[in-house]
């Protein structure tokens, strides 16, 4: 059943639309790497990669903005474990994932001795938990456990999910993990992925002329960058307008939806603004955002990328735009960034 005001786009079956990836017959997840060597942050990022649960790195930091899909990622991991409808039992070394707070992770890791041989832990730092400094330091020391030969041999995994971009290189836990593993962003949808949303919308309303769906997907990317929550808002807006007048042109509705979101900033963007203002306490980050918000771009092959670019990418504001240039994510992001910069 379609929720009245939840902002989600519902399928023909009355369920929230979800996009999923596969590698062969295995469930997979696309991640956007920001490291090529442990301890580094690099953008433009190495090529995106589809991971199965068994192919995830032994140590991984996963970063996203609020509403960037962390719960969807967690559901994928848990749903892909043995005994679930999306089981990966055929993959070597697969074990169940535990979604833990810092305190719980400290308890589990401090007692791990290689028996049971395989543990798979997600430390969820996306919920705003504020642990004591002592706990942070203790856990930072314990994560050295991943350097033991038994960790790799047992196919154990440690994932830390966070939205704390500013702290990545200075927080004890993050810096220790970063020096031992990889960092990735949760993805914004690409035009081919957004085309699947367009197909669902067209099938739901039995619309003709679906040959234009690839172009409509590019319009979605141009307006909102493919960010997960915004994508739901965008398609829900179009879906609701079709309830009122089913014969309306999708092309016109997509432009209307983009303008509406741009001019009526969703509340979640106010939450992003708080995180962005924290980042902008670093003057070089603010200056770089001002350049991008004014329409500045970089060629992806330009060697002149630095920590400011990496931080803004991790925060979800910049990346490869629809013109394949490095700049602000979308038309909506550009408008909102200008508003935030003005204060």
Task: Report the C-alpha gap between 296 and 291 in whole angstroms.
Answer: 5
Question: pLDDT higher for 329 or 170?
Answer: 329
- Identify the three-state secondary structure at position 127: coil
Measured in residues, the chain has a length of 343
157: enclosing H helix or E strand: strand 157-162
- Output DSSP code: residue 45: P
pLDDT for the residue numbered 132: 76
How crowded is residue 322: how many other Cβ atoms within 10 Å of its Cβ?
18
pLDDT at 128 over 70: no
How would you classify the pairing of strands 182-185 and 59-63?
Answer: parallel
Which residues, at least 6 apart from 266, have a Cβ–Cβ distance to it below 8 Å? 7, 229, 230, 233
Whether the Cβ atoms of residue 79 and residue 116 lie closer than 8 Å to each other: no
Question: pLDDT higher for 303 or 253?
Answer: 253
- What percent of the chain shows pLDDT beyond 90? 61
pLDDT at 89 over 60: no
Q: What are phi and psi of 328, to 5 degrees?
A: -60, 145
pLDDT at 41 over 90: no
pLDDT for the residue numbered 52: 93
pLDDT for the residue numbered 92: 38
Whether the Cβ atoms of residue 43 and residue 292 lie closer than 8 Å to each other: no
Q: CA-CA-CA-CA torsion for 163, 167, 173, 178, nearest 10 degrees?
A: 80
How crowded is residue 188: how many other Cβ atoms within 10 Å of its Cβ?
25
Q: pTM of the entire structure?
A: 0.92
* Averaged pLDDT for residues 153-157: 89
* Averaged pLDDT for residues 30-48: 86
Whether the Cβ atoms of residue 177 and residue 37 lie closer than 8 Å to each other: no
- What percent of the chain shows pLDDT beyond 70? 92
| Triad 10, 15, 19: Cα angle to 5° | 75
Which of 204-213, 233-242, 326-335 is predicted with the least confidence, judged by mean pLDDT? 204-213
pLDDT for the residue numbered 2: 62
* Averaged pLDDT for residues 35-39: 82
Question: What confidence category does residue 207 fall into, taking pLDDT thresholds of 50, 70 and 90?
Answer: confident
Distances (CA, A) of 288 to 42, 252, 256, 308: 16, 34, 30, 7
Buried b (16+ CB within 10 A) or exposed e, 56-76: bbbbbbbbbbbbbbbeebbeb
Task: Report the C-alpha gap between 189 and 56 in whole angstroms.
Answer: 20
Whether the Cβ atoms of residue 53 and residue 77 lie closer than 8 Å to each other: yes
pLDDT at 103 over 70: yes
Per residue in 44-68, pLDDT tens? 877 789 999 889 999 999 999 999 9
Q: CA-CA-CA-CA torsion for 269, 239, 244, 212, nearest 10 degrees?
A: 120
Question: What confidence category does residue 87 fall into, taking pLDDT thresholds of 50, 70 and 90?
Answer: very low
pLDDT at 13 over 50: yes
pLDDT at 90 over 60: no
Per residue in 245-261, pLDDT tens? 987 899 999 999 999 99
Task: Report the C-alpha gap between 121 and 135 in whole angstroms.
Answer: 17
Q: What is the mean pLDDT of the chain?
A: 88
How crowded is residue 328: how many other Cβ atoms within 10 Å of its Cβ?
27
């Amino acid at each position: 059943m379609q929720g009245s005001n939840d902002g989600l786009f519902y399928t023909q079956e009355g369920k929230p639309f979800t996009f999923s990836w596969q590698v062969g017959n295995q469930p997979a997840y696309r991640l956007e790497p920001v490291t090529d060597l442990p301890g580094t942050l690099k953008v433009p990022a190495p090529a995106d990669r589809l991971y199965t649960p068994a192919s995830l790195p032994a140590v991984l930091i996963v970063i996203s903005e609020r509403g960037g899909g962390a719960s969807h990622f967690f559901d994928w991991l848990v749903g892909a474990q043995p005994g679930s409808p999306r089981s990966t039992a055929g993959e070597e070394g697969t074990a169940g994932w535990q979604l833990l707070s810092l305190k719980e992770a400290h308890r589990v890791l401090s007692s791990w001795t290689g028996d049971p041989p395989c543990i798979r832990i997600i430390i969820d730092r996306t919920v705003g938990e504020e642990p004591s400094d002592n706990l942070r330091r203790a856990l930072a020391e314990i994560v050295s456990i991943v350097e033991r030969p038994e960790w790799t041999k047992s196919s154990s995994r440690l994932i830390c999910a966070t939205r704390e971009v500013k702290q990545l290189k200075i927080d004890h836990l993050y810096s220790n993990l970063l020096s031992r593993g990889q960092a990735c962003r949760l993805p914004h949808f690409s035009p081919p992925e957004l085309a699947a949303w367009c197909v669902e919308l067209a099938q739901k309303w039995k619309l003709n002329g679906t040959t234009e769906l690839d172009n409509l997907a590019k319009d979605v990317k141009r307006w909102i960058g493919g960010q997960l929550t915004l994508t739901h808002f965008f398609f829900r807006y179009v879906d609701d307008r079709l309830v009122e007048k089913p014969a309306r042109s999708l092309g016109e509705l997509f432009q209307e939806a983009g303008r509406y979101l741009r001019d009526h900033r969703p509340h979640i963007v106010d939450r992003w603004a708080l995180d962005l203002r924290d980042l902008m306490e670093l003057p070089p980050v603010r200056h770089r955002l001002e350049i991008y918000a004014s329409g500045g771009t970089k060629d992806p092959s330009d060697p002149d990328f630095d920590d400011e670019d990496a931080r803004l990418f991790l925060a979800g504001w910049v990346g490869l735009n629809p013109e394949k240039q490095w700049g602000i994510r979308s038309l909506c992001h550009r408008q909102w960034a200008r508003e935030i910069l003005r204060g």
